Amino acid sequence: MRFEVTAISARADPVQLTIEAGDAAHAQRDAAARGYHVVAVRAADSLARWRPGRASFALLSFAQELCALLAAGIGLVESLQTLAEKEERAPLRQLLDAVIRTVSAGAPLSAALAEHPAAFPALFVATVKAAEKTGDLPEALTRFVAYRSQIDAVRKRVVGALIYPVLLLAVGALVTLFLLAYVVPRFAAVYEDAGRDLPFLSQLLLAWGRFFEAHWAVALSGFAVLIAAGGYAATRPAVGARLARALWRVPSIGERLRVYELARLYRTLGMLLQSGLPIVAALRQCGDMLPPQLRPRLEAAVQSLATGQPISAALDAHGLTTPVALRMLRVGERSGRISELMARIASFHEDEIARAVEWFTRLFEPILMLAIGAVIGLIVVLMYVPVFELAGSLQ
């Protein structure tokens, strides 16, 4: 979840940071580790990104364009100036101008980026800082772009698989509301004119229909408020944290979530190790991207690694491996290709997650369609039961 941190920099300037962390304490520790004196921490407004006038920084595009300019032989300052000149949005142009001023004053690019954590996350800054030591900034930017593209592709695949069930549920709810608010009241009028006794369930359904017809504005407003409240609650960090904890307790779903987070961990570790970061520093950089359930395990693994244990043993001892990952890590340790093997582990588990999501959607969609069909069918049957009884009496 995102937290807004009010802090004071080493230059005694007040700054406003946006930090991804599991809770406020982790956000405060993250800001302090960057050299800031924390004044206040609060949960970020998740709706703020949709407000008019807010300009979001496209980090992936920035990395791609900067890499292309540097690879073409253009100097760093000139490349940044080119990106600032082509930026049409004033807030983002001011952001790049601030980075250019810091770099022109002699500071390294990583230090200039670290002054703007809302636009440049710590992971990107660490990648740039490691590349500055090895002198291969374009290659490091290329690796970061590939890393973000892989992470975004997995996320889009999961979100895309959930779109159809949500649309199906929304259409089913609208059809049910239409039947209750428009069709059922007309049947109720017909049955009242006929003056016949109706089955209890049919009477209950017709009573609901009459209520919707008489108070359609209140019912529609209540439904809209319920949807809006649900959407707003979904953006609240506390609600998201509770939902995540509940899902992690479900055995099959919790294991899939663990594998998904481990795939992200290995993908990030592989990218940082390829950039030249030491293994302990790389593991610490990955702490904030993990959910609260896995962060204590990662901290314990870092401590075990610091005592001299190999990375495979340290991660396995604290539940941060799978059978496949453990064997690949051991192969990587023997061959000296640990970063390459971590990328392979991530790809293996990402494919596994994709298959699990596809299997879930193929199973869940028919079940959802049957449930919606059963609800609509029950409404139709209860409306027509008196007609069937009337037809039987006439015979």
User: What is the three-class DSSP state of 256?
Assistant: helix
Q: What ranges in 236-337 are assigned the alpha helix state H?
A: 237-249, 251-274, 279-285, 295-306, 311-317, 323-335
User: Which of 80, 73, 78 has the alpha carbon at shortest distance from 128?
Assistant: 80
Is it the case that residue 50 has pLDDT exceeding 50?
no
Is it the case that residue 292 has pLDDT exceeding 60?
yes
Q: What distance lies between CA 141 and its chain's CA centroid?
A: 23
**Order of strands, sheet of 14-20, starting from the edge strand that comes earlier in the sequence:** 14-20, 2-8, 37-43
**8's torsion region: left (phi>0), alpha (psi -120 to 50) or beta?**
beta
Q: Which of the residue ranges 69-78, 194-203, 288-297, 376-385 has the most confident prediction, judged by mean pLDDT?
A: 69-78
Alpha-carbon distance of 189 to 199, in angstroms, equals 16
What's the farthest any 2 CA atoms get from each other in the chain?
98
User: What's the pLDDT at 52?
Assistant: 41
User: What's the pLDDT at 192?
Assistant: 67
Q: What ranges in the chain are assigned the alpha helix state H?
A: 24-33, 59-71, 76-86, 90-104, 109-114, 122-134, 137-178, 184-194, 200-214, 216-235, 237-249, 251-274, 279-285, 295-306, 311-317, 323-335, 338-394
Cβ-contact 30, 288 below 8 angstroms: yes
User: At 15, is the pLDDT very low, low, confident or very high (cuts 50, 70, 90)?
Assistant: low
Is it the case that residue 48 has pLDDT exceeding 50?
no
Decide which of 295 and 247 is more confident: 295
Cβ-contact 154, 87 below 8 angstroms: no
DSSP lists the bridge partners of residue 2 as: 20
The residue to which tokens 């601030």 are assigned: 98
Residues 199-244 have pLDDT tens digits of: 777 777 777 777 777 777 777 787 788 778 877 776 666 666 677 7
Cβ-contact 90, 107 below 8 angstroms: no
φ, ψ of residue 19 to 5 degrees: the values are -125, 135
User: What's the pLDDT at 226?
Assistant: 79
Alpha-carbon distance of 388 to 390, in angstroms, equals 5
User: What's the pLDDT at 241?
Assistant: 67
User: What's the pLDDT at 46?
Assistant: 47
Percent of the chain with pLDDT over 90: 1
Is it the case that residue 194 has pLDDT exceeding 60?
no
Mean pLDDT of the chain: 78
Work out the average pLDDT over 88-105.
87
Work out the average pLDDT over 323-337.
89
Cβ-contact 289, 264 below 8 angstroms: yes
Tokens representing residue 366 in the block:
């028919």
User: Which of 331, 324, 330 has the alpha carbon at shortest distance from 353?
Assistant: 324
Separate counts of helices (H) and strands (E) for the chain: 17, 3
Q: Half-sphere exposure of 276 toward its Cβ, with a 13 Å CA cutoff? A: 15
Cβ-contact 389, 192 below 8 angstroms: no
Angle, vertex CA 371, rays to CA 369 and CA 377, nearest 5: 95
Question: Cα–Cα distances in Å, from 56 out to 52, 240, 308?
Answer: 11, 22, 43
User: At 47, is the pLDDT very low, low, confident or very high (cuts 50, 70, 90)?
Assistant: very low
Alpha-carbon distance of 73 to 67, in angstroms, equals 10
User: What's the pLDDT at 106?
Assistant: 86
User: At 387, is the pLDDT very low, low, confident or very high (cuts 50, 70, 90)?
Assistant: low
Residues 55-96 have pLDDT tens digits of: 567 888 888 888 888 888 888 889 888 888 888 888 888 888
